[in-house]
Amino acid sequence: MTTLVWFKRDLRMHDHAPLAAAAQAGPAVGLYVIEPAWLASPECDARHVAFVLGGLALLRARLAAKGLPLLVEHGPMTEVLERLRQRLGVVRLFSHEETGPGWTYDRDRAVATWCRAQGVMWQEWPQTGVVRRLRSRTGWAARWAARMNAAECAEPRGFTAPRLDLPELPMLAHLGLAPTRVPLPESGEDAALATLDDFLQRRGGRYRRELSSPLGAATGCSRLSAHLAFGMVSMRRVHQATEARIAALQAEGDDASRRFAHALRGFAGRLRWHCHFMQKLEDEPEIEWRNFSRACDGLREPVFDRMRFDAWCQGQTGYPMVDACMRSLVATGWLNFRMRAMLVSFAAYHLWLHWRQPGLHLARQFLDFEAGIHWSQMQMQSGTTGINTLRIYSPTKQARDHDPQGVFIRRWVPELARLPLPFLAEPWTAPPEVQRAAACVIGRDYPAPIVDATQAVAQAKDRLYGLRRQPEARAEADAIQSRHGSRKSGLPPTTKRARTRRARSPGDLQRDLFADEALS
């Protein structure tokens, strides 16, 4: 009789409760399944699969050294389980809970049905701060802290396991995927822990001042988001290591150490917000497809402007900061939090696009795609939660504030490389002779603005604020705040500005976080 340890988004050995339990349960086998439903899902990209395969290679070797074989199968989950039940006499299935896209909910329901029919015991453990079947958000942060401060699960010493022949890991081509051209970071638990250590010991002191910069954030942020998204390091390990480093810096007592600790305290807060947003999808899976606020139904849906959407996806909107950010993201798989928020804001307010299709495009580009954070943030930045302040980013202001020398724009929009800096954020304002001298004639070498920003934003505000003033929308907002808002959860505001608004606008306490924002 065999226990299967089902690896999903938890590709590590340390602080892995199902793995630790299996080591005490008798013969065991590890299992990872590359599911056709994942490969066919609209948010999946070859970059995600390649990153996972890299992590699986290391995990398989590490598990083998402990005596546990790791099977990597390709097929529908229940079909794989049935084959292994007949082959190995599987009686137990151990795994972590998962808060993921709709296909994972459907898959888990099918697995539960199969387990009941076959008499297989399926036991799940939480691995983040997300609480299954949560009745109320009141006190959620205290529950998060209790879970994250609990002792980590020790790495098992060894396993008993049947002898199995393990085929080589599949290549992308074997799975019907084209090679990815995105440069991927090193994958696996060792790389995740090295990244964490490098951030806490060296890079983290720049965190607060570089978080918003599309240039500085590449090294000033933690860069743990992809590792956390695929569970190559546990949230508990990151939390406890961060708190230990803050305590050590504070004990040193000098000014430099205190500044470093202050920077890391900002990061520590975002670990809580990371799970807060995942909890929203756990509590209401439908937000992947439909508006938080049903009062917003029909607001953007009737017409989908394919020309505007394609220009946004291709970095051809005529707004240099928007285009530079999109091109950078497509090429690298990563972008800092403020620029992610700006991309969505531009799609939602300037282009008046419904959040679903832009969200799918971004999901494929983000190596750190985390469904719970992603869809909550797509709606927050699009104004469809019903409880959050409308955050409309000016691409021109973002360029001048966060790329004042034009380094980022010139790197990713080379058409503008020779344009003088005063015109770089708004190239259409450059006189014709300046455009010709820079070999960048607007409308020929680089697009004219796809919309008039002032008019587009004014129209968006009129529509959304008008909608929010309706009694039905206001009543619905109260219910949404009660179910998903942060105040009753116990989460503290993370900025002085948020603290000053707390009494009068609870929804404003929601933060502008995407996957790496919760981890940056």
What one-letter code names the amino acid at 467? L
Tokens of 169: 């890991």
Residues 6+ apart with CB under 8 A from 411: 324, 328
Separation CA 89–CA 362 (nearest Å): 42
Residue among 71, 96, 93, 90 nearest 17 (CA): 96
Beta bridge partners of 33: 73
Cα distance between residue 367 and residue 46, in whole Å: 10
Which amino acid makes up residue 507?
Answer: G
DSSP letter string over 379-399? HHHHT-SSSS------HHHHH
Q: Report which DSSP code applies to 155.
A: P
Structure tokens of 142? 């205290």
Q: What is the CA radius of gyration of the chain?
A: 24
Residue 207 annotated in ligand binding? yes
For residues 429, 431, 434, 435, the Cα torsion angle rounded to the nearest 10 degrees is 60
What CA–CA distance (Å, rounded) separates 497 from 408?
Answer: 28
Closest CA to 379 of 406, 408, 344, 409: 344
User: 3-state class of 240 per DSSP?
Assistant: helix
250 in Cβ contact with 258 (< 8 Å): yes
What CA–CA distance (Å, rounded) separates 280 from 289? Answer: 13
Partners of 123 in the β-ladder: 94
Structure tokens, 396:
């021109």
Dig out the tokens for 39 from the structure.
């490969």
CA–CA separation, 486 and 496 (whole Å): 16
Spell out where 8-82 has E strands. 28-34, 70-74
CA distance 159 to 62: 12
Can you name the residues that pair with 29 across neighbouring β-strands? Answer: 4
386 and 363 Cβ atoms separated by less than 8 Å: no
- End-to-end Cα separation, the chain, in angstroms: 44
506-510 long-range contacts, CB within 8 A, separation 24+: 506/387, 506/481, 507/385, 507/387, 507/388, 507/389, 507/477, 507/481, 508/388, 508/389, 509/485, 510/380, 510/385, 510/387, 510/388, 510/485, 510/486
Query: 218: how many CB neighbours lie within 10 A of its CB?
Result: 15
Are the C-beta atoms of 279 and 129 separated by less than 8 Å?
yes
Known binding residue 514? Answer is no
What element of type H or E holds 90? strand 90-96
**Listed residue (395, 380, 408) closest to 513, CA to CA:** 380
Which residues belong to the annotated binding site for FAD? 207, 267
Which residues belong to the annotated binding site? 207, 267
